[in-house]
Amino acid sequence: MEYSVETLERDLKNTRKYYGSGKTKEAPWRESQLKGLHNFLVEKEEEIVTALKHDLGKHYVEAFRDELGTLMKTLNLATKSLKNWMAGKEAKLPRIALLSSAEIVPEPLGLVLIISSWNFPFGLSLEPLIGAVAAGNSVVLKPSELSPTCSSLLATFLPTYLDNNAIKVIQGGPEVGKLLLQQRWDKIFFTGSARVGRIVMSAAAVHLTPVTLELGGKCPALIDSLSSSWDKEVAVKRILVAKFGACAGQACIAIDYVLVEKSFSSTLVTLMKEWIKKMFGENPKASNSIARIVNKNHFMRLQNLLTEPRVKESVVYGGSMDENDLFIEPTILLDPPLDSAVMAEEIFGPVLPIITLEKIEDSVEFISSRPKALAIYAFTKNQTLQRRMVSETSSGSLVFNDAILQYVADTLPFGGVGECGFGKYHGKFSFDAFSHHKAVARRSYLTDFWFRFPPWTLDKLQL
Ligand code: NAD
């Protein structure tokens, strides 16, 4: 739907007025919106998985694991915890404030804007929406134009499950995004590229609007030679599924490249080839288990990365592509030049460079000398190396011996540091991302001290 500035401003005025009525702050309202989201996911499951297949070629299992299942888990937690999250938490005051009490009371921020990305079109839209409504806000959600079937499904059906006076879905691309950013918001929650993140932050500065930026970057993994063949296989399978089995590598926390000791590299490549075949068959295109590239532009971008002559020479597995089907085969590169685009840009696709190092310990320096990553994965049982990774590298998350696991843990804050963004969400962190934690203090009239009042005399300090 085309949105004029006038229509948008009228709608937002009404939404603000509705927020002002206090309705969205009530616990029953919040519960009913969470229930509405739950019903949407249950009743529209078939339409949701069909849309994900249509826009991104995701298999039902992948769609269920990454979007429906994860969202149901979040909704269950939010519904179960809502009263507890909403309750003020008692706080202590200094002893000098005799006969007093204090608490920290969460209050909604107001009218919030959520702009999301296309790779997990439901998860990245509804995960923050759950936090926003649980916290009692009014919300405008703008999903991505690059996953149009999914966005249109959200725009068509969410209003029938949710309170449309408080929650609106607006479809559109950068033009609509720009229009939205010209408005005044009480919070902007953005998922997308660092380029647009900068635009969002500049727009937010005009009204001093707080922002959460969930951005991307290059997430490294390291694998040491792990002692047993079982450990090696488990590590390789986990690396491959994290790269090729979640939206074909089009994920912000997908492994971007792998660091390995030179002496272990040929064993690693052999194991990877073997397990790619076991997971995706001899003909991965026909396997149905690998998602498609979102559109022609991204396909061309990835094709350009791969066809750079020096990079092409480094292909040790895969490399085939089908533009009509937007398919790129799981592809492994061994030691592409570090100054090539594939090692400079976020790959966001099914291409996995392996970079060899003399010693696996060198990976600490390799990683810490590059921009901070959204996630680092370290497949190692070496306790000294684990400790060094914790203390000498910085990233949104750090996972040992697995990957992507952190995304589904409600108990862990999900978000970036440095150029991959700031602000946290998931679980209770989502509620906090859309709340102001107000300090409330109460004092009795029964006691008072003369020395806290003027006239100031030095003896008052000596008490
Ligand atoms: P993008 O920045 O191009 O678009 C994101 C959203 O911003 C879309 O809804 C788009 O319509 C909107 N937009 C684009 N231009 C705009 C403008 N000028 N003004 C206002 N809105 C505008 O990013 P993308 O292609 O959707 O996503 C890819 C990037 O997102 C990657 O870098 C990836 O790592 C990152 N990402 C991060 C996370 C995370 O959770 N940290 C999740 C998914 C994707």
Residues 6+ apart with CB under 8 A from 5: 179, 182
The answer to whether 233 is a known catalytic residue is: no
Of the residues 214, 261, 329, 346, only one is catalytic, namely 214
The pLDDT value given to residue 4: 84
Is the ipTM, as predicted for this complex, more than 0.95?
Answer: yes
The pLDDT value given to residue 231: 95
The pLDDT value given to residue 449: 86
- Cβ atoms of residues 114 and 211 within 8 Å: no
Q: Ligand 1 in contact with 119 (CB < 6 A)?
A: yes
Angle between helices 27-43 and 45-56 (to 10 degrees): 70
Average pLDDT, 10 consecutive residues per value, the chain (463 residues): 82 97 98 98 98 98 97 98 97 90 98 98 98 98 98 98 98 97 98 98 98 97 92 97 97 98 97 98 95 98 97 97 98 98 98 98 98 98 97 98 96 97 98 98 91 92 78
The answer to whether 103 is a known catalytic residue is: no
Interval between CA 278 and ligand 1 midpoint (Å): 33
Query: pTM of the prediction?
Result: 0.97
Rounded CA Rg of the chain:
25
The pLDDT value given to residue 107: 98
Among 150, 193, 348, 419, name the best residue to mutate to test ligand 1's pocket (greatest count of ligand atoms within 8 A of Cβ).
Answer: 193
The pLDDT value given to residue 227: 81
Q: 3-state DSSP call for residue 318?
A: coil
For 12-79, the DSSP string reads: HHHHHHHHHTTGGGSHHHHHHHHHHHHHHHHHTHHHHHHHHHHHH---HHHHIIIIIIHHHHHHHHHH
- In this structure, the chain runs to a length of 463
Locate 90 and state its tokens: 């008692």
The pLDDT value given to residue 463: 67
**Residue whose token pair is 């923050």:** 128
The pLDDT value given to residue 226: 79
For residue 142, give the nearest of 194, 191, 75 by alpha carbon.
191
The pLDDT value given to residue 302: 98
The pLDDT value given to residue 311: 97
Q: What is the dihedral of CA 196, 199, 205, 209, to 10 degrees?
A: -40
The pLDDT value given to residue 1: 55
